[in-house]
Amino acid sequence: MNRAVAAARAAELRVLLAYHGHRYYVLDDPEISDSEYDRLFRELVEIERTYPELCVPDSPTQRVGAAPSAAFRPVVHAQPMLSLGNVFSAQELAEFDRRVRDRLGAPEVHYVAEPKLDGLAVSIRYEDGGLVRAATRGDGVTGEDVTANVRTIRSCPLRLTGDSVPRVLEVRGEVYMPRAGFAQLNARQGERGEKLFANPRNAAAGSLRQLDPAISAQRPLRLFCYGVGEIAGGPSPASQEELLEFLERLGLPVNPDRARVAGYEGCLRYYEDLARRRAELPYEIDGVVYKVDSVAAQRMLGELSRSPRWAIAHKFPAEQAITKVCAIEVQVGRTGALTPVAVLEPVGVGGVMVSHATLHNPEELARRDVRVGDFVSVRRAGDVIPEIVAVLIERRPADAVPFRFPTECPVCGSPVVREEGVIARCAGGLVCQAQRRQTVRHFASRRALDIEGLGDKLVEQLVDSGRVRTVADLYDLKPDELLRLERMGERSAAKIIEAIEKSRRTTLARFLYALGIPLVGEATANALARHFGDLEGLMSADEAALTRVPDVGPVVAHAISAFFSEAHNRAVIDALRAAGVTWPSVERPSGGLLSGKTVVLTGTLAEMTREQAQAALEGLGAKVASSVSKRTDYVIAGADPGHKVARARELGVPVLGGAELKAWLAQAGRDPAS
Ligand code: IVH
């Protein structure tokens, strides 16, 4: 970056940081995540380090926070409230420790390690043991008077205890909201239809900065003290550890999860241990704070304008981050299911760069209304696919439009079928590149065309090499082509060719099932074969005709019709037939005793199995349906029939038993067990 570019960027960063600092510190309503803010801040620090002349006095790097809100009376801190520098890696921590040791000329330094609570810093002033004033940090020099609100925090003593109470004590600590209290508060807010808080930090800040202390009092706020400003007329602890124990003796709350550790290795062990326990802690933390233990050493090290040299925050990688949606892509899975995926401007989440997040399915996408150009917060939990938590509506570009879900498969151009529920599926199962392996595997499976020896590995090799593009290509495979594949002997090659050969003679039902038509399983394939008897009749049936098939509703009918109207699918079917795939024509009952009647089976028949009964009824020309309606002619009920009988009685549909079915069969001269 040359100087002119750097100067322009620095000016831009100052405007951005001032804006976001105001939203965060003054309005309690941040638009960007802490990690995004940190990133901008570090970028400015970096530029100012390279070009020191660009560092102006009003740069956000030159002060602690933003200006205090005018809503509360300003309070000047007796000693400024400093902030902390950050490190994000073990290496940066090692560098911090080295700088400390170099300045002190010490071979090893002891630190007190404390959880870095995610709340709001306060300074509470006690005079002669009594709480006289509490203030927020504000800009570090001047804060806001929140005495009335802090007095409502039950863990904050109104009077100090013990026998060595100092005349003046300005204690520093963090006001926070425990996870459990946060969850209860949000549940309550939800019940009352009031605004939910994004996280415990925002809830704590919003609760503390309430103009009405009665509201603060109802909020589950807590306090942990971790340091002091002015201290006079009492003992002066010689170390951070002694200081914290002293504060405890005065009746102040101090976090018990702290530890005194030796050197950089000790710090790191503490960090790793706390990171492991993080999810179980009753409060949210965003890292660890290490403080040089010895107060004498702290004095030697001194302070920078914004932060002490004797303390540092070691931040956990963010588990949520805000980034921009660059595009929305639709991926086609191996089963033809279409999944929308947001392509993100890469962002670090929980220590990993994230550039994609799943949007699950078209319905979810429409419900969330995620648009290209939107800013979103993304979450990563463990190894799961990153997810979009929220869309930042206030940052939506004016020209962003709702995403239009494709009606054609982005891979093969076939129509997209919307299944009941939430799934969208490509109807080009026989031709779609994304589905080839799965399609061939299914075609060859045992209950389909049953091609023995055509296993997963072989299908993979044949499809990936491009040799098999559709299932029809299987029928002109030559033995020497198979022999050229990895781990293929002459015997197995010959056996596979033979199995392919054998599969040419099949049944219509198996063939239909093998095609992998969306929503058509074995039972539906059987019903279709029985109903139409031949492929031509089925392929030319419209959706209305399809719904006359037992158990085929409008959704399945639509999927079947879409499949057969796809020209590529028809071409593959033609190729299969040209390759000699055939089946005997299906005998269709005509003019049967029950022709044109709709029958529903329910309960367990003593006379025959459910399948036998269904086949027998269909043999008599009946349509067997699964639910009772006005159009049902008979219900045949066995033992434990369930609600279908009640429904039939309601509608006045005759309810018969297995004996009547047997009588019909006898009348038609049929044996039920055949
Ligand atoms: S010490 C001079 N100790 O983190 C030292 N700060 O990023 C100043 N914080 O403003 C702070 N837990 O709001 C310290 N155990 C802890 C802390 C802690 C949380 C917050 C505090 C501070 C900010 C600095």
Choices 1.20.1740.10, 3.30.365.10, 3.30.2000.20, 2.40.50.140: CATH for 320-395: 2.40.50.140
CA distance 643 to 454: 46
CA distances from 414 to 273, 423, 433 (A): 53, 16, 11
pLDDT at 575: 95
SS (H, E, C) 418-431: ECCCCCEEECCCCC
Is there a catalytic annotation at residue 195?
no
Mutate to test the pocket of ligand 1, among 116, 136, 243, 252 (most ligand atoms within 8 A of CB): 116
Out of 3.30.450.20, 3.50.50.60, 3.30.470.30, 3.40.50.620, which CATH number does the structure's domain 81-315 have?
Answer: 3.30.470.30
Cα separation values, 381 from 117, 354, 388, 473, Å:
21, 12, 12, 44
Taking the CA of residue 119 as reference, the ligand 1 atom at the shortest distance is: 13
Residue whose token pair is 């200006």:
67
Name the residue at shortest CA distance from atom 2 of ligand 1: 82
What is the per-residue pLDDT for 477? 92
Compute the distance between CA of residue 438 and CA of residue 441 in angstroms, rounded to an integer.
Answer: 5
Q: Is the CB of 121 under 6 A from ligand 1?
A: yes
Q: What pLDDT score was predicted for residue 68?
A: 43
Nearest CA to ligand 1 atom 3: 226
Instruction: Tell me what pLDDT residue 52 has.
Output: 86
Residues in the chain: 674
| Cβ of 268 below 6 Å from ligand 1 | no
State the pairing for strand pair 634-637/655-656.
parallel
- 114 Cβ inside 6 Å of ligand 1: yes
Name the strands in the sheet holding 634-637, side by side, starting at the edge strand that comes first in the sequence.
623-625, 598-602, 634-637, 655-656
Place of tokens 């970096």: 46
In degrees to the nearest 10, what's the CA dihedral of 607, 610, 615, 621? 90
Domain boundaries, the chain: 3-62, 81-315, 320-395, 416-578, 598-668
Give the per-residue pLDDT at 381: 54
Judged on CB neighbours under 10 Å (0-12, 13-18, 19+), 544 is: exposed
Which atom of ligand 1 is closest in space to residue 120's alpha carbon?
A: 13
Query: Residue 62: its pLDDT value, please?
Result: 60
Architecture of 598-668 per CATH?
Answer: 3-Layer(aba) Sandwich (3.40)
CB 348 within 8 A of CB 354: yes
| CA of residue 322 to ligand 1 center, whole Å | 24
Whole-angstrom CA distances from 196 to 75, 152, 203, 392, 567 are 30, 22, 9, 15, 52
Has domain 3-62 been given CATH number 1.10.287.610? Answer: yes
228 lines ligand 1 (CB under 6 A): no
Q: How many CA atoms lie within 13 A of 295 on its CB side?
A: 11
227 lines ligand 1 (CB under 6 A): yes
Burial of 382 (0-12, 13-18, 19+ CB in 10 A): exposed
Q: What's residue 552's pLDDT?
A: 87
Return all residues near 92 (Cβ < 8 A) that are at least 6 apart: none
Q: How many CA atoms lie within 13 A of 22 on its CB side?
A: 6
Which CATH class name applies to 416-578? mainly alpha
Q: Is the CB of 122 under 6 A from ligand 1?
A: no
Q: Which of 34, 35, 174, 303 to mutate to test the pocket of ligand 1 (most atoms within 8 A of CB)?
A: 174
* 369 φ, ψ (degrees, to nearest 5): 55, 50
- Residue 244 in contact with ligand 1 by CB distance below 6 A: no
H-type alpha helices, 369-435: none
The stretches in the chain having pLDDT less than 50 are: 26, 63-70, 382-383, 673-674
In this structure, which residue's CA is closest to atom 13 in ligand 1?
A: 121
What spacing in Å lies between the alpha carbon of 428 and ligand 1's midpoint?
59
Q: Is the CB of 123 under 6 A from ligand 1?
A: no
Q: What distance in Å separates the CA atoms of residue 154 and residue 150, rounded to the nearest whole number?
A: 9
CB 21 within 8 A of CB 32: no
Residue 244 CA to ligand 1 center (angstroms) comes to 14
| Any atom of ligand 1 within 6 Å of the Cβ of 84 | yes
Q: Provide the token pair at 6.
A: 């750097």
CA distance 352 to 240: 35
